[in-house]
Chain A
């Protein structure tokens, strides 16, 4: 996640202090991604070096030092918001790799391996869903974070379900035969704008 751009976004609302930036960042991400105050100041220094923010020169270093965004910073933020993250090639997903590895191993029931992961993911989804139950503690930002996590976990379960079905059909002689060696995703190709 880009802390750099998250801080630019907060500063685009108006000048802020470092400590204030940390508190607002955590509040707006449902406190799911805690931020070290050291990270905030290191990032602000780099942003200042790159001309994307400017500090209040009259103040001394520390929690009371204010920062504001520059025009270059605003342009950078605008471009970042509209640049899709790099989803163009499959990541080396550990779950996918475990299932592919299990497929080639003698004495391993791949359906059992799939079920172990499916159950764990459903248990995680139950925990996240539980957080949605009490709507009084569900502010908009936190609700969006919870939804994102539920959809991410759900997509993994859907893949496991599909894989389970595909393996079952393959074992019954329908569809493509199971390979004797497992293909691993190739190294990522760099696409998209650098951070």
Chain B
């Protein structure tokens, strides 16, 4: 079953002559355990798609379901609770809180969700350890490299068993080595069962995904076909 479902989503900004159709007739299903990339140029609507998928913004038309629950059926508080419990966000500029250490940044969503500070920090520490950041736990964001900051941001996004990860150009500010390690972490989270959507204009980033959706002027215009087995592909390359 799809963890995230977007059905006939549209989003219109403005009215009359200034009306802008940011998204039109968007249908998208993302299964648990799969990574979907949405590619498109600036202004294609990909960031709007992500904010609507993450319940940060309401669509003008259509329906979003997360974990089988329609967002339209949830109150404002219900959506906020769903976001805290189930959805992690990763942004290009990390969005870490400068006054909190790495471990405090990661434990914050757990504490906001009612977990005791000591317990939340223990869970956050485990998460940082898993991401190879144990020795950076007490460092503040300005003491971390760009790659480390983004790894902390991903740890924060997936901590506490969240099931949906939404990332907007997650490696846009990083060099190719760090970008690759960011995508490996996101993919590893998917292999543990998370559903993930990454929006990007970068084909190298998108190519880590199981499926790539192409967005143009607010519409899905195309998507990649399922991949052949990796060994079969390699054999084909070697015998071409």
Contact = CB atoms under 8 A, between A and B. Distances in A.
A165 B227 contact: no
Interface string B181-225: 000000100000000000001011011110010101000011111
A126 B237 contact: no
B41 A125 contact: no
A115 B230 contact: no
A171 to B, nearest CB: 12
Contacts, number: 66
A55 B71 CA distance: 76
A126 B224 contact: yes
Given A126-B224, A127-B228, A165-B41, A121 B203 contact: yes
Sorting the interface of chain A by its residue count into under 10, 10 to 19, 20 to 34 or 35 or more gives 20 to 34
Contacts of B207: 122, 125-126, 128-129, 150
Interface stretch (A17-25, A94-102, A153-161): A153-161
A115 B222 contact: yes
B203 A123 contact: no
Nearest to B217: A168
B239 interface: yes
Chain A's interface: helix, strand, loop or mixed, by majority? helix
Nearest to A160: B203
22 contacts: A118-B222, A119-B212, A119-B223, A122-B39, A122-B203, A122-B207, A122-B212, A123-B212, A125-B203, A126-B212, A126-B224, A126-B227, A127-B227, A127-B228, A129-B207, A129-B208, A130-B233, A133-B187, A151-B204, A153-B203, A154-B203, A165-B41
Interface of B: 39, 41, 180, 187, 201, 203-204, 206-209, 212, 214, 216, 221-225, 227-228, 230, 233-234, 237-239
Given A111-B216, A115-B222, 8 more contacts: A115-B221, A125-B207, A126-B224, A128-B207, A150-B204, A157-B203, A161-B41, A165-B41
Interface of A: 31-32, 34, 111, 115, 118-119, 121-123, 125-133, 150-151, 153-154, 157-158, 161, 164-165
